[in-house]
Copies of this chain bind each other. A is one copy, B any other.
Amino acid sequence: MVKQTVTIRDIARMAGVSAGTVSRALNNSPLVREETRQKILQVVRALNYVPNRAAQRLATGKTLTLAVIVPFFTAPSVVERLKGVVHTLAQSRYDLIIHNIEDPEQRAGCFQTILRRDLVDGVLVISIAPKDEEVRLLSEADVPVVLIDAYHPALTGLLHQITVDDVAGGRAVTKYLIGLGHTKIGFVGDPADNPFNFTSSRDRARGYREALEAAGIPYRPEYYAEGPHGRRYARESARRLLALPDRPTAIFAASDVQAVGVLEAARELGLRVPQDLSVVGYDDVEIAEIVGLTTMRQRLFESGQRGVELLLRTLADPTTKPVHEVLPTELVVRETTGPPP
């Protein structure tokens, strides 16, 4: 065990006061005479004293640390949200510890250990929708939790939740394509049932079906393809769709990354975009602008930012009522969409 170079008692001795007074002086207690405080601060500066974090935590029960649980390796949109979190937290005095979820099994253990008061003061969860059996764990956690891009109906009113209305977004994209004149519209997304319990693709697909129905266009199962997230799998899915005898004239991809896969498939097959095929993505991450992709913009960075704000507010005032905020989306039309051939 290594002893600290300068402790509060050293400061106390040198300033000719007791440790308690030094502590109060540093924590801006009004119980210290201004003159005494100045003397103490002088010594503190002279010795370059910084209080021991572990001791503070033990004594106060506060950790001054927050945790973020994030599936870091899944999608660029997740990184963008994380950036929002990191940026906003930089202005506060909280430290941020990052817990990456690499595979589904880690989830349980992670939730179990993290949600304890002596480890962190609060938790942010990005893009991991709780399963039914995790609801109790989350609602009974003894630290405040904020879900970003994650949602469970049973948690409304218990936790802060920040989402977008993916069903409405999916509807809007599909309606836009229908408005262009398309009737043969395909969908490429993640498996509705996936180990991380990502719900966005599922919800966007629902909006897609609703919009078709509303326009009186029958839903054709052969136009719906799902596969693991990522460009490669999306490309394969798109290949299948585009190889159909009566192939779609437009494809709605559940994310920009997948839309790029669709574009690659189109290029392989010699289809011109948007003349032969229209493609729409979702998220508006940087790559969308680069490849000129029409997409549904989400406020990714802002979602992280907002999550931190809510968490900090709750920490400052634990009686804050948990809210469910729905961030807006916005269609960004670029060069991958046009009327059907």
Contacts and interface: CB of A to CB of B under 8 A. Distances in A.
Interface of A: 1-4, 50, 52-55, 57-61, 63, 65, 72-73, 79, 83, 86-87, 90, 95-98, 100, 102, 106, 113, 116-119, 231, 260, 264, 286-287, 290-291
B97 A73 contact: no
Given A53-B57, A53-B63, 6 more contacts: A50-B116, A53-B118, A73-B87, A86-B98, A87-B100, A287-B290
A84 to B, nearest CB: 11
Given A50-B116, A117-B2, A290-B287, A58 B58 contact: yes
Contacts of A65: 97
B290 A1 contact: no
Contacts of A231: 290
Contacts of A59: 1
A264 B289 CA distance: 11
Contacts of A119: 53
Which residue among A54, A61, A65 has the maximum number of chain B CB atoms within 10 Å of its CB?
A: A54
A291 to B, nearest CB: 7
Contact of A86 (B1, B63, B100, B264): B100
Lowest 3 A-B CB distances belong to which pairs? A54-B57, A54-B58, A1-B61
Contacts of A90: 100, 102, 106
